[in-house]
Amino acid sequence: MQHDNKSFKAGLNQAIPSSEAAVWIIGRTGSGKTACLVEQLCQWAEVARSPVKEPSLQPMGLVFASLNETRLALVERLAAMPTQMPTDLFASATPLGFFQAEVTQFWPKLMQPLNLKSQFPLRLHPETEQMLATQLWQARLESGQLRQAGVRDAEMVSRTLDLLQLAAFSAIPHEQIPELLQQGWVEQDGSSTLWNEMGEALEQWWRWCLDRGILTYGILTELYWRYLLPQPAYQQHLSQRYGAVFADDVDEYPGVMRSLFEFFLDRGLPGVFTFNPSGSVRLGLGADPTYLSGLAARCRVEMLPLPTTGMGATWGQLVVDCIREPLLLPQFSDAIQVIQTVSKAQLLRQTAEAIATAIQVGEVQPEEVAIVSPGFDAITRYTLQEILTSRGIATFALNSQYPLISSPLVRGLLTLSAIVYPGLGRLVDREAVAEMLVVLSQRSGDGFSASLLPPEWLDDAPPQRSKLPPKPRIDPVRAGLLADHCFTPDPHTPHLLPVQQFSRWDRLGYQAAQSYEEILQWIHTQQSLRPLPTPVELFERAIQNFFAEGDYSYDQFTSLRGLMQTIRHYWEVEARLRKSDQTRLNGTTEQRDVAAVGSLIQLLRDGTITANLQAAQSDGREGQAVMLSTLYQYRMHQCAHRWQFWLDAGSPLWLMRSGVTLFAAPLFWRNRTNRVWTAADRMAENQAYLEREVMDLLDRAQERVYLCHCDLTVNGQEQEGALMPLINAALPANLDLNLA
């Protein structure tokens, strides 16, 4: 049923105050789902705000969002409402954030049924989880029991851990994982032994973590739905705290959320749920929209009219029909155009020049342009940013992540720690020492005063910086000479010699020699301390001493912040494990610390720990920059632009979802449990996902879409992706690029 927003809102306003109310709102991107949810939350708050005898017992509204970023945006939206809703009338959370908070708060209620020890739970970061699971399963990996043909050990560990998370998200006991794999995954014959081995490994991991009070997302989710939520005492407490539930974008939630929502509905409490039929971005990563949509049977279903601002209303169905029927060849207006070249290099240049020209002639503003692609490799991102920057146009990459080890500042600090601590000489070489000297010698004439690890680094805003960029006082050539003549490699005690050890040290210059002596003196000071500083203390002191001056870029500060967060977490986990594992108590405290530092350096050098750049939000540049984003991030962060450039539109990656689908994920969709997953099923699901993705992108484009296609891939193969019918039907772009 479709009708205008006014009548829809009026109907909700009458229904929400009733304790029997439950509304299921269906609408595509831009149709006003969130606006309706916000208004109904305000309506409920008006009723809940009426005078009560016990204000402290007044129930709150529980508000869910799919991402923390969207949750914060929703909270800001509520705070900006004319009714000025008090923040004590609602609590906001993401599904996983809610599970973690509840399990942590009610940990004592889980100790007795699970026979747990009396210690506060500690959640593992994914990278630490991978490392510890690899250590625990080392014997299984070496014996070949936990091994799959063509799969590396690291990927095998990751797959196994993902299965535990998928089962938890689907409210399936982890003991049933081997059975589900046996019944549904037929691509590998004779794999029942492997599935059983994976099940045994997960059971070992489950008990190992709980014995030490360590939680992963998969474990804490299963603890919540399986052991905490069924407890009558907890249910009573939950119903007393919350008087209504509001959930935005339910199509992105794990299936386990249905149990929580049904808890509220069973008690006749108000509930409002929004569902996007062209969403389901996280399908394959834990979301189960089909299972959650079963809640609609218990709600009054309201269908919002199609959005009027996006291109989806005008062209969406025609584009989807064109993809389904390649011979259709519809007639598109200049709203959908194609930029086509032979090579990828030509495509990147023409795309960037087309954007720059359109911005410079005033046809569009930078913040109104987005370049989206199935995946952005470093070369593609760098090329686009360099061309646009050279034309005076700022860019930013949405939710860009890169390995911490790719930062020279991080590599320099790791090399420094390997020199300070004894026994880590095998982790140091001449090139690393030379880079360390360059990095640690960076200074500027007008710096800022920083306290020990400035608290601003833990916030979104960068600290106040000087206007002068940092300049190394030891250039790479002099650093190489110093590493050649003053660095003594040694497996146990690698060390730096005085600068006079270099016979021509006078050729270095006063500035480089003085900076080198300062670094050397700092190292000697730390080594003379007893006991040696912990890694947290050492890195804090090094950051304060060497990086407290200079106008460092925000990504450099992000790297240092990510490094400190990683070190703090790693050391917290190490302290917890030492309380439980006698093997970790062998040797002196200093020897154990040094071994832990070595493991930490190796973990960082593996490149699995990333820094998350959000420079656009933090530097305030989102209002004047072109966005670069993957399809997944663009849709999850609910972005919208006047113009979209679909990069690599002819690539088969638009249909191949291997990068955003966990191993065996379809077996855990509740509507498919105990069913075989075939190649035909995978093709049909990929096609359905592509159609939703294209429709969603068009809903997020207000005016124009450019299909950016190159005939050949970087290795010379012809591209024939699923969007080729659309590329063939679109009009060639008519842009005066003024290319050289």
From 665, 708, 670, 676, select the one nearest 166 (Cα to Cα). 665
Q: Quick check: 619 pLDDT over 50?
A: no
pLDDT for position 7: 38
**336 membership: H or E segment, kind and range:** strand 336-341
pLDDT for position 113: 86
What share of the chain has pLDDT > 70, as a percent?
A: 86
Question: How many domains is the chain partitioned into structurally?
Answer: 4
Considering only residues 371 and 405, tell me which one the structure prediction assigns the higher pLDDT.
Answer: 371
Dihedral, CA of residue 639, residue 645, residue 647 and residue 650, to nearest 10: 110
Model confidence over 111-131: pLDDT tens digits?
Answer: 888 888 767 899 999 888 999
Q: Quick check: 18 pLDDT over 80?
A: no
Model confidence over 287-322: pLDDT tens digits?
Answer: 999 999 999 999 999 999 988 888 988 898 999 999
pLDDT for position 511: 86
Token digits for 69?
A: 């970023």
Q: Quick check: 20 pLDDT over 90?
A: no
Considering only residues 661 and 705, tell me which one the structure prediction assigns the higher pLDDT.
Answer: 705
Considering the domain boundaries, does residue 128 fall inside one?
yes
| Cβ neighbours of residue 170 closer than 8 Å, sequence gap 6 or more | 254, 255, 256, 288, 291, 668, 669, 670, 673
| Mean pLDDT to the nearest integer, 688-711 | 93
Question: Under a CB-based contact definition with an 8 Å cutoff, are residues 186 and 676 in contact?
Answer: yes
Token digits for 311?
A: 């291109």
- In this structure, the answer to whether residues 84 and 232 fall within a common structural domain is yes
Greatest mean pLDDT among 140-149, 185-194, 467-476, 580-589 lies in 140-149
Model confidence over 502-560: pLDDT tens digits?
Answer: 877 777 888 888 899 999 999 999 999 888 888 899 999 999 888 876 667 777 788 88
> Treating both helix axes as pointing N-terminal to C-terminal, what angle do 430-440 and 408-420 enclose, rounded to 10 degrees?
110
> Rounded to an integer, what distance in angstroms lies between the CA atom of residue 315 and that of residue 313?
6
- In this structure, the answer to whether residues 423 and 491 fall within a common structural domain is yes
Considering the domain boundaries, does residue 116 fall inside one?
no
Q: Point out the domain boundary residue: 160, 185, 212.
A: 212
- In this structure, the answer to whether residues 48 and 138 fall within a common structural domain is no
> Rounded to an integer, what distance in angstroms lies between the CA atom of residue 304 and that of residue 27?
5
The dihedral region occupied by 531, where left means phi > 0, alpha psi between -120 and 50, and beta the remainder, is beta
- In this structure, the answer to whether residues 662 and 537 fall within a common structural domain is no
Model confidence over 344-378: pLDDT tens digits?
Answer: 999 999 999 999 999 999 999 999 999 999 988 88
* DSSP one-letter string for 40-86: HHHHHHHHHTS--S-GGGPPEEEEE-SSHHHHHHHHHHHHTSTT---
| Mean pLDDT to the nearest integer, 238-253 | 93
The dihedral region occupied by 722, where left means phi > 0, alpha psi between -120 and 50, and beta the remainder, is alpha
Token digits for 37?
A: 């949810």
**CA atoms within a 13 Å half-sphere pointing along the CA-CB vector of 694:** 24
> Rounded to an integer, what distance in angstroms lies between the CA atom of residue 627 and that of residue 644?
10
Model confidence over 54-78: pLDDT tens digits?
Answer: 555 678 889 999 999 899 988 888 8
pLDDT for position 459: 42
Q: What is the pTM for the complete model shown?
A: 0.87
Considering the domain boundaries, does residue 17 fall inside one?
yes
> Rounded to an integer, what distance in angstroms lies between the CA atom of residue 16 and that of residue 708?
47
Q: Quick check: 4 pLDDT over 50?
A: no
> Rounded to an integer, what distance in angstroms lies between the CA atom of residue 415 and that of residue 601?
9
| Cβ neighbours of residue 431 closer than 8 Å, sequence gap 6 or more | 483
pLDDT for position 248: 94
Confidence of residue 448 (pLDDT cuts 50, 70, 90): very low
- In this structure, the answer to whether residues 504 and 415 fall within a common structural domain is yes
Considering the domain boundaries, does residue 373 fall inside one?
yes
- In this structure, the answer to whether residues 371 and 234 fall within a common structural domain is no
Least confident of 129-138, 409-418, 430-439, 496-505: 496-505
Model confidence over 73-101: pLDDT tens digits?
Answer: 888 888 877 665 666 788 999 999 999 99
- In this structure, the answer to whether residues 592 and 655 fall within a common structural domain is no
Three-state DSSP class for residue 671: coil
Confidence of residue 234 (pLDDT cuts 50, 70, 90): very high
CA distance readout (Å), 58 to 48, 240, 327, 469, 509: 8, 8, 62, 54, 72
| Mean pLDDT to the nearest integer, 657-680 | 84
Three-state DSSP class for residue 487: strand
Considering the domain boundaries, does residue 576 fall inside one?
yes
pLDDT for position 618: 37
- In this structure, the answer to whether residues 440 and 567 fall within a common structural domain is yes
Considering the domain boundaries, does residue 740 fall inside one?
no
What share of the chain has pLDDT > 90, as a percent?
A: 45
| Mean pLDDT to the nearest integer, 146-159 | 88
Considering the domain boundaries, does residue 286 fall inside one?
yes
Output the average pLDDT for the chain. 84
Q: Quick check: 9 pLDDT over 90?
A: no
Residue numbers of the domain that contains 524: 404-612
Rounded to the nearest angstrom, the gap between the alpha carbon of residue 545 and the centroid of all alpha carbons in its chain is 31
From 605, 567, 599, 130, select the one nearest 407 (Cα to Cα). 605
Q: Point out the domain boundary residue: 612, 629, 647.
A: 612
Q: Quick check: 621 pLDDT over 50?
A: no
- In this structure, the answer to whether residues 150 and 58 fall within a common structural domain is no
Q: Which residue has the tokens 């739970």?
A: 121
Sheet of 394-397, strand order: 394-397, 625-630, 369-373, 641-647, 701-710, 336-341, 731-732
> Rounded to an integer, what distance in angstroms lies between the CA atom of residue 302 and that of residue 249?
15
Instruction: Assign 3-state DSSP to the chain and report helix, strand, coil percentages, each to 5.
Output: 55, 15, 35
pLDDT for position 433: 93
> Rounded to an integer, what distance in angstroms lies between the CA atom of residue 104 and that of residue 109?
10
Which CATH number is 253's domain given? Answer: 3.40.50.300
pLDDT for position 205: 96
Considering the domain boundaries, does residue 628 fall inside one?
yes
CA distance readout (Å), 350 to 289, 709, 733, 734: 39, 11, 11, 12
Q: Point out the domain boundary residue: 571, 592, 612.
A: 612
- In this structure, the answer to whether residues 326 and 421 fall within a common structural domain is no
Confidence of residue 445 (pLDDT cuts 50, 70, 90): very low
- In this structure, the answer to whether residues 597 and 640 fall within a common structural domain is no
pLDDT for position 547: 85
Residue 495 carries which side chain, given as an amino acid letter?
Answer: H
The dihedral region occupied by 735, where left means phi > 0, alpha psi between -120 and 50, and beta the remainder, is beta
- In this structure, the answer to whether residues 421 and 543 fall within a common structural domain is yes
Let me know if 643 is exposed, middle or buried by CB neighbors in 10 A (0-12, 13-18, 19+).
buried
pLDDT for position 81: 73
Three-state DSSP class for residue 398: coil
